[in-house]
Amino acid sequence: MVALARTPRPQPQSADTSAFEDDVLAGLRTTPKRVPAKYFYDGAGSQLFERITELPEYYPTRCEMRILRDHAGDIAKLIPQGAALVELGSGSNKKVRIVLRAARKLAAYVPVDICGEMLEQEAAELRLDFPQLKVLPVRADITHQFELPAQAKAAPVRVGFFPGSTIGNFEPFEAAAFLRNAAHILGPGATLIIGADLIKSADVLNAAYNDAAGVTAKFNLNLLVRINRELGATFKLDTFEHHAFYNRERHRIEMHLASLKRQKVKVAGETIEFRAGETIHTENSYKYSIASLGALARGAGWQPAGVWTDAREYFSIQAFTLTGK
């Protein structure tokens, strides 16, 4: 890949830019180095991820779509008429379309995502295809508190939709915090519908994150492209390499960017040193059993309300209800 030319350090323009700089620098100063996976999803990263979902090796999206199509009626029974449907980390709208077609009349659909560009594009498409539906996008980091639109808060109940196995990108303690945060945002009587990848053969998992076309590698390396562009960094892409592997002990895929040589990189005016072979840990993707996700949810105040899987039990959609809140 072509190395990017060095660019001047941009001045911070927003709270988003400042948070990105703070998180990147904090992660690169630690040992081992890391950058939060949520920063994959700029415009280019979101598009690359959509390409990943279409790869032959990457089974999760196909499995989840099949489950949604096969069980849309049962899933829709958990969404009362007049509810507000809140999609956490919405991205592409192709999954929620299945739910929207099956659900009873909704008060509103609220897609929430960190990538404002894709959020507005997907919302515009949904408004054309569902003209009677109030589509109220919210640009926010779903790992933090955020305000729902007034129409969603006024609905008699809110239903959270969290597909794509994004729950697996959190450390277990972060997943528990996310579930507690979702309970607070969605409020009493809420339901939360979660897509979760299941524990399976390491060969299947390793292939899914090391595709032959190299799209996942481009997705991983695009994080450095973003850091170069937004923080005036000097990463040379041809001196870093995509690494992904299944950690059996921790039931997770790990993604890293490995430095191919000893080097120094400027990031937001600060010099970061890399040893040959040193990595930036960019993502974890935890794999759950039905029981282990249920236990995690119960610890955060959610009670299991339904489980659906594909025929091979590669993937699951699990529903939880909030009681006693």
Q: Is residue 4 part of a domain?
A: no
Distance CA 227, CA 19 (A): 12
So what's the pLDDT on residue 114? 86
- Residue 148 and residue 175 share a domain: yes
So what's the pLDDT on residue 92? 87
User: Which positions of the chain have pLDDT values less than 50?
Assistant: 1-13, 325
Domain range holding 276? 15-36+203-286
So what's the pLDDT on residue 125? 95
So what's the pLDDT on residue 323? 77
Amino acid (one-letter) located at 148: L
- Residue 136 and residue 81 share a domain: yes
So what's the pLDDT on residue 43? 87
Residue by residue, DSSP assigns 204-233 as: HHHHHTS-TT-HHHHHHHHHHHHHHHHH--
So what's the pLDDT on residue 91? 82
- Residue 307 and residue 259 share a domain: no
Distance CA 97, CA 305 (A): 22
- Residue 218 and residue 115 share a domain: no
Q: Is residue 305 part of a domain?
A: yes
CATH number where 143 lies: 3.40.50.150
The angle, 0 to 180 degrees and rounded to 10, between the axes of the packed helices 215-231 and 15-29 is 110
So what's the pLDDT on residue 115? 81
So what's the pLDDT on residue 294? 97
Q: Which tens digits make up the pLDDT trace of 283-302?
A: 999 999 999 999 999 999 99
Structural domains in the chain (count): 2
